[in-house]
Each structure stands twice: as C-alpha cells, then as structure tokens.
C-alpha cells in the first residue's frame, strides 16, 4: 500500500534533523494559521498563488531562493563547524549525516537558490526592459515556478521522511547505483531535480521566446539592455543543456528502478558516460548562472557611473562567445580520468580561452566606471566587490584549467575554494546587487542603505576569511568532503574558515535586518517617481511597483539606453504635455493551473521516491487532467478598459514630470 514507506523512514534516533524539521513545521503551521485567521488566504490565492503576472512570479522565485538560501546556509555552517572540530576526532556529526549535508548543500545552493534567484530576477525585469506587457507564455511561467517549488519541497521533505543522497551534488555512479545507495536518498535527489528541471526548461523556453519575439517597437537587438542579452544567452544555454540533465537523470533512475545498465559496473555499463553527460550539462550550468549576474553588473555599473556601458557591442560579443564556448570545456572536470594528453590539452586550452571574453567584460566595467560620476550605493558596492572577488576566482580557474596543475589540485579544497569563489563572488553577489537594485521597482520603496552596506562588508570580508584558508588547505593536500582528518597542518585553516563563516552569517543577518527595517520604514523610503537610481533602461520608465500591464503604451525605442534618451529628450523640450489616447489593454487571466499541476507533481514525485505505484498513477492522471481543463477554458484574457489605464497612468506621469527636469543631474 505505501511502498517502501514505513515508520523507520522517520529518523527518531537523530535529534538534529528531527528538531530542525519540527521547528520548520511549527513555523510553517504558524504562518498558515496566521494567514487563515487574518483572512489573507483569498488575497494570497488571487494575487499571488494563481498569478500569471511575470513580476509576481519573479518575486515568488526570489522568495523561494531566499528561503532555500537559509537552508543551504545552515548546511554550510554545520560543515564548517564539523571540519573545525573534527581533527583527530569524529566531530559532532555522524558520517552518513555529514555526507547528506554536503550533498544537500550543493544541490540546494545550485538548483534551489542560484537558479530561482537569477530566473526570478530575469522574470521580474526582462519584460520591463523590453517594454512589453508580459512574457511569451504567462501561464506556463506559473507552471514553471510551481514545479521548481515542488522540487524544493521534496528536498526539504527528505530531511524528516527518509534521507537525502550521500553521493555529492552530482550523484556520481556507481556510488549512486542501487547496489551502493540502496536507500531513497538518491531517489529524492533525482526526482526533485527532474521535476524542477522541467520547470527550469519551461522558464528557459519562455524567456528565449520573450527576448526574441516580444521586444517593443524599435528595440533592435543592438539596443537591448545588457541584462536582456545575458538573459538570452543564459536561457539559450538552459534550453540546450537542461535536456541533457533530464536524460542523464532518467538513465540513472532507469538503472535504479528497472535494473538497466547505463552506468553500472556489470553487464557493460559505462560509468564515465555519466561524467561526460552530467558535465556536458554541468559546465554550461555554471554560465547559465553567471551570465545573468554579468548582465546585472552591467546595468548597475552603468547606472551608478552615470555613463552608458563602455564597449556595448564587445560586451554582446563576449556574452555570446561565452554562450558558445561554455559547451566546449566540460572535460576539464575530469582531466585525471585518463583521456590522454591530446584531449586534455584541447579542453585545457578551451577552458583558458573562455577567460578571454570574461576578461573583456571586466575591462568594460572598469572603463565604464572610468571618468564616470560614481555613486557607491549598495548595488554598486556589490558590483565592485564582485570585480575584486571574481578576478581571484577567475585566476584560480585558469590555474585549474592547466592539466598538470589540475592533477595536483583535483578534488582538493583548492577546487572547493575556487568554485565558491566564482559562484559566491559572481552569482550570489550579482543576485544581491540585482535584489538591491530592482527592489524599489518591485515594491515601490528603497531598501535601507546602512544595513545594506553593513551586509555587503560583512559578506565580503566573511567570504575571504572563509575561502582563502580553503585555498591554502587545498595546497596542503586536503581533499574535499572530508568527514574528519588527522593532519595537524590543516587544522588552523579550518578554524579560520569557521570564523569566516561566522562573519558571513553576520552578513546574512544584516541582510534580513535590512529587509525588516526597510519594510517598517517603507513610508519614509517610498519612491514615487519609479526611477530612484536615475536609471537608463525602460523598467524605470514605469511606476513602482509597475501596474499589471507594465506600460500604458508600448514604448517606442530610438536608441541604446532607451529611458535615458527619453529623459534627456523630454528635458530639452520641457515635455510631458501630450495627453495620449489610451486604449483597452488585454491581459492574461490568472490561473491555478501552475499550482494544481505542482500539487500533483509533488504527489507523483513523493510516490515515485517511495515506490507507491497507485499514487504515481493518481498523480499522473491529475496532472494530465489539469492540462486538459486548462486547455478547455474559453476566456484566457480579460480587458482593462482605457479609462482605468488612463487613471493609473496619469498618476505615474504626474510623479514623473518633476523627475524629468532633474534627469542626469543627480
């Protein structure tokens, strides 16, 4: 009846996950009760859960990422404490628990923090920057988000019911095969990634189509803001790379569920094929994450330097070059597998070549700042901090791209330090910069600058105190994923790294405080102009938060930096007098499809993990029925009458008239 599921699945003997699970459960129940008692449920349902508005979906993505960041961060803290105390002792974590923690940490941070964060920002901003009303497929967008949430939910369920994978974040066979991992951990891993992977693919298709087919009038390719370009590149990579992940995990699951022999040791299976496939997805994935961050930095640096982006066309070229080359370097993840010097040399050179367009970008940002009127607001701090951090990460990356050096440093803490260097310094700093930069656009008030700056400095310093010691430990020969160790030379570095982790944690607390303080002072921080930073691209041309239709009229773009040109133009002609003729606007109707679909996907995923076959069938039928019901509806749009559009837009125009006179003078 319940497959492999019974009471032994709940770890009554392990206090840590049980207490953590109980706390989370109480918190969730508390929030739910509060929502119901306060009568917020209808609001949540109509305005958020069933919303197909790209801005709302973007916000929900970022919210999901933030919650999961806390979870993944707790894992990180536990690991750093373990390695600090586990010198010639077992530490405080049993080995199988420690292995689950590092696997969950990697999985969560990549799939459920970095991915939703950048996809959320892209969702929120790109249609605004393109001057359009929504993404190409609004309902599908909602489905994509809720499937991502399903994946995150399943990972968190594994904390209390059953276990998570102990195989590392990529579940290499043969360790992840049934013979070596008989539990449900790997199944939790694989099914949560399969389900959220579908969501990611949907988001990718959506954003590619949006950028290529929905740009507003006059928005030629070479007038698109840089963030739109990097979004395009990143989503092209999603569309090309995520099916590889889907196929690879499907093969692993077939091995585990039906006794197939893709990656087994016996009957001719090929383990190295898994490495090749997973990294053919995995390496582009790195650029899927970091390219949007590059776009964010381009926007931020240009805005806060008061200058157009230096070398715009070279930036576009560099972005697309990275997009292509990222598919040609995957083998550097296993130089030591014995592919031979020729193969290693070719992939080594490709890996070094990809540093060239990245270097071009760094110089472009520096030259954008050169001669500009720089304002060190919080987003700009993250951008400058990124440039410093990322160069270190890039240099160590080029070092690792040299096969002989890689033979020494492969699988060491040096590698761990390197990829945290680029992922934190690149993606996370980018996500925070984007968060600070676009928060006023999403909610209509700024974030508190003092707490924001404090968060930056603690994170920045904490980052270096944590990861520089890991570089050193790697040089001293410490391998990754060590549960405990006996080498005295490593110990001090582990202790320093743990201290760094504490500093980083203060940074996170500052970030939370910033949010709390800003929400409390939101009236004082209110931005009525819609353009708090003196921005240059179209998202600043509308009110904050933008009306559901984004723009009363599709903007007409005449050049790069569309909104900047409008402001200058308007100031010269002391404009703003035309009373436009408003028209009715058709917008997509809200739909519970995404939420219902994810509900059935959750049931199905859980049932698959525990081999509860009747429930699998039930979930499958439910998901299909949802789609048929969705396909059957007759009215998928509603009309906002011209009067209403006029009323909403007039307020925005009034606020803006005062601003226009100040453009470029702030």
Residues 250-289 touching other proteins, rule: CB under 8 A, are: 251, 254, 258-262, 264, 266-270, 273, 277
Q: Which lies closer to other proteins via its Cβ, residue 253 or residue 325?
A: 253
CA nearest neighbour of 204 among 228, 177, 185, 231: 231
Question: Does residue 239 bind other proteins (CB under 8 A)?
Answer: yes
> Which residues share a beta bridge with 637?
588
Q: What HEC string does 343-399 produce?
A: HHHHHHHHHHHCHHHHHHHHHHHHHHHCCCCCCCCHHHHHHHHHHHHHHHHHHHHHH
CB 62 within 8 A of CB 124: yes
Question: Does residue 484 bind other proteins (CB under 8 A)?
Answer: no
Question: Does residue 653 bind other proteins (CB under 8 A)?
Answer: yes
CB 385 within 8 A of CB 428: no
In the complex, the smallest distance separating the C-beta of residue 189 from other proteins, rounded to whole angstroms, is 19
How far are the Cα atoms of 57, 182, 234, 332, 402 from residue 352, in angstroms, in the given order? 37, 40, 20, 10, 8
In the complex, the smallest distance separating the C-beta of residue 27 from other proteins, rounded to whole angstroms, is 37
In the complex, the smallest distance separating the C-beta of residue 173 from other proteins, rounded to whole angstroms, is 13
Site for other proteins in 510-549 (CB under 8 A): 541
Q: Which lies closer to other proteins via its Cβ, residue 198 or residue 402?
A: 198
Q: Which lies closer to other proteins via its Cβ, residue 494 or residue 557?
A: 557
CB 120 within 8 A of CB 59: yes
> Which residues share a beta bridge with 526?
445
Question: Does residue 243 bind other proteins (CB under 8 A)?
Answer: yes
Q: Which lies closer to other proteins via its Cβ, residue 218 or residue 622?
A: 218
3-state secondary structure of 411: coil
Distance of alpha carbon 365 from the chain centroid: 22
Q: Which lies closer to other proteins via its Cβ, residue 37 or residue 631?
A: 631
Q: Which of 215, 283, 361, 410 binds other proteins (CB under 8 A)?
A: 215
Q: Which lies closer to other proteins via its Cβ, residue 266 or residue 342?
A: 266
Q: Which lies closer to other proteins via its Cβ, residue 246 or residue 479?
A: 246
In the complex, the smallest distance separating the C-beta of residue 547 from other proteins, rounded to whole angstroms, is 14
3-state secondary structure of 469: helix
Site for other proteins in 625-644 (CB under 8 A): 628, 631-632, 634, 636
Q: How many residues in the shown chain lie near other proteins by CB under 8 A?
A: 71
Q: Where does 521-572 have alpha helices with state H?
A: 522-525, 562-572
Question: Does residue 13 bind other proteins (CB under 8 A)?
Answer: no
Q: Which of 244, 354, 362, 494 binds other proteins (CB under 8 A)?
A: 244
The DSSP secondary-structure symbol of 93 reads S
Site for other proteins in 323-352 (CB under 8 A): none
Q: Which lies closer to other proteins via its Cβ, residue 248 or residue 319?
A: 248
Q: Which of 397, 555, 588, 605 binds other proteins (CB under 8 A)?
A: 555
Question: Does residue 136 bind other proteins (CB under 8 A)?
Answer: yes
CB 263 within 8 A of CB 302: no
- Nearest-angstrom CA–CA distance, 140 and 448: 35
Q: Which lies closer to other proteins via its Cβ, residue 486 or residue 636?
A: 636
Measured in degrees and rounded to the nearest 5, phi and psi for residue 171 equal 50, 55
Other C-beta atoms lying within 10 Å of the C-beta of residue 32 = 11
Question: Does residue 214 bind other proteins (CB under 8 A)?
Answer: yes
In the complex, the smallest distance separating the C-beta of residue 268 from other proteins, rounded to whole angstroms, is 3
Angle, helices 54-85 vs 95-107, to 10°: value is: 150
In the complex, the smallest distance separating the C-beta of residue 549 from other proteins, rounded to whole angstroms, is 12
Question: Does residue 660 bind other proteins (CB under 8 A)?
Answer: yes
Q: Which lies closer to other proteins via its Cβ, residue 156 or residue 206?
A: 206
Q: Which lies closer to other proteins via its Cβ, residue 311 or residue 576?
A: 576
The DSSP secondary-structure symbol of 638 reads E
In the complex, the smallest distance separating the C-beta of residue 205 from other proteins, rounded to whole angstroms, is 5
Question: Does residue 566 bind other proteins (CB under 8 A)?
Answer: yes
Site for other proteins in 172-211 (CB under 8 A): 201, 204-206, 208-209
Q: Which lies closer to other proteins via its Cβ, residue 69 or residue 232?
A: 232
Other C-beta atoms lying within 10 Å of the C-beta of residue 214 = 17
Site for other proteins in 387-426 (CB under 8 A): none
Site for other proteins in 588-627 (CB under 8 A): 624
CB 116 within 8 A of CB 62: yes
Question: Does residue 373 bind other proteins (CB under 8 A)?
Answer: no
The DSSP secondary-structure symbol of 171 reads T
Question: Does residue 212 bind other proteins (CB under 8 A)?
Answer: yes
- Nearest-angstrom CA–CA distance, 126 and 204: 13
What are 350's two structure tokens?
């490709």
Torsion angle, CA of 164/166/169/175, rounded to 10 degrees?
Answer: -130
């Amino acid at each position: 009846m319940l497959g492999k599921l019974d009471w032994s699945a709940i770890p009554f003997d392990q206090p840590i996950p049980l207490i953590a699970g109980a706390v989370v459960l109480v918190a969730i129940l508390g929030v739910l009760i509060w929502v119901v008692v306060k009568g917020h449920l209808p609001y949540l349902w109509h305005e958020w859960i069933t919303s197909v508005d790209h801005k709302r979906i973007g916000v929900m993505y970022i919210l999901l990422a933030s919650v999961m960041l806390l979870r993944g961060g707790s894992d990180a803290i536990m690991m750093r404490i373990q390695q600090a105390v586990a010198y010639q002792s077992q530490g405080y974590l049993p080995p199988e628990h420690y292995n689950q923690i590092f696997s969950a940490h990697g999985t969560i941070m990549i799939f459920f923090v970095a991915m939703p964060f950048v996809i959320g920002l892209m969702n929120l901003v790109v249609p605004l920057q393109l001057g359009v009303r929504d993404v190409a497929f609004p309902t599908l967008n909602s489905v994509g988000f809720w499937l991502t949430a399903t994946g995150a939910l399943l990972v968190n369920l594994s904390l209390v019911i059953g276990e998570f994978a102990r195989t590392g974040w990529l579940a290499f066979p043969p360790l992840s095969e049934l013979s070596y991992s008989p539990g449900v951990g790997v199944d939790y891993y694989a099914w949560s990634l399969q389900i959220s992977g579908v969501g990611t693919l949907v988001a990718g298709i959506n954003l590619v189509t949006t950028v290529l087919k929905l740009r507003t009038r006059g928005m030629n390719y070479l007038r698109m803001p840089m963030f739109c370009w990097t979004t395009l590149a990143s989503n092209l990579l999603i569309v090309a790379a995520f099916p590889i992940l889907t196929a690879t995990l499907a093969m692993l699951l077939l091995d585990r569920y039906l006794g197939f022999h893709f990656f087994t040791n016996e009957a001719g299976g090929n383990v190295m094929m898994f490495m090749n496939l997973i990294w053919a997805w995995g390496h582009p994935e790195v650029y899927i994450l970091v390219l949007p961050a590059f776009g964010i930095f381009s926007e931020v640096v240009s805005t806060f330097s008061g200058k157009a982006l230096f070398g715009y066309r070279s930036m576009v070229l560099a972005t697309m070059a990275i997009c292509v080359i990222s598919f040609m370097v995957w083998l550097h993840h296993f130089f030591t597998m014995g592919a031979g010097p020729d193969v290693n040399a070719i992939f080594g050179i490709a890996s070094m070549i990809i540093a060239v367009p990245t270097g071009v970008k760094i110089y472009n940002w520096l030259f954008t700042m050169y001669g500009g009127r720089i304002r060190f607001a919080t987003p700009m701090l993250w951008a400058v901090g990124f440039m410093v951090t990322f160069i270190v990460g890039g240099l160590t990356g080029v070092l690792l791209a040299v096969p002989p050096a890689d033979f020494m440093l492969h699988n060491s803490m040096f590698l761990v330090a390197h990829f945290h260097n680029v992922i934190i310094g690149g993606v996370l700093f980018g996500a925070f910069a984007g968060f600070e930069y676009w928060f006023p656009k999403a909610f209509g008030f700024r974030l508190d600058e003092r707490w924001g700056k404090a968060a930056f400095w603690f994170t920045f310093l904490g980052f270096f105190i944590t990861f520089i010691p890991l570089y050193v430990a790697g040089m001293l020969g410490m391998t990754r994923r060590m549960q405990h160790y006996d080498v005295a030379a490593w110990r001090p570095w582990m202790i320093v790294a743990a201290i760094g982790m504490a500093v980083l944690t203060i940074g996170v607390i500052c970030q939370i405080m910033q949010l709390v303080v800003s929400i409390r002072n939101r009236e004082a921080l209110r931005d009525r102009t819609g353009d708090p930073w003196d921005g240059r691209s179209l998202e600043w041309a509308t009110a904050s938060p933008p009306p559901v239709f984004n723009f009363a009229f599709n903007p007409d773009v005449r050049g790069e930096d569309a909104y900047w040109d409008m402001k200058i133009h308007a100031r010269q002609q002391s404009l703003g007098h035309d009373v436009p003729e408003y028209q009715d606007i058709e917008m997509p109707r809200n739909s519970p499809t995404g939420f219902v679909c994810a509900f059935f996907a959750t049931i199905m995923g859980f049932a698959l993990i525990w081999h509860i076959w009747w429930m699998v069938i039930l979930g499958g039928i439910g998901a299909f029925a949802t789609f048929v019901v969705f396909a059957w509806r007759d009215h998928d749009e509603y009309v906002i009458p011209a009067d209403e559009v006029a009323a909403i837009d007039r307020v925005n125009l009034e606020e803006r008239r005062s601003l226009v006179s100040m453009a470029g003078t702030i």
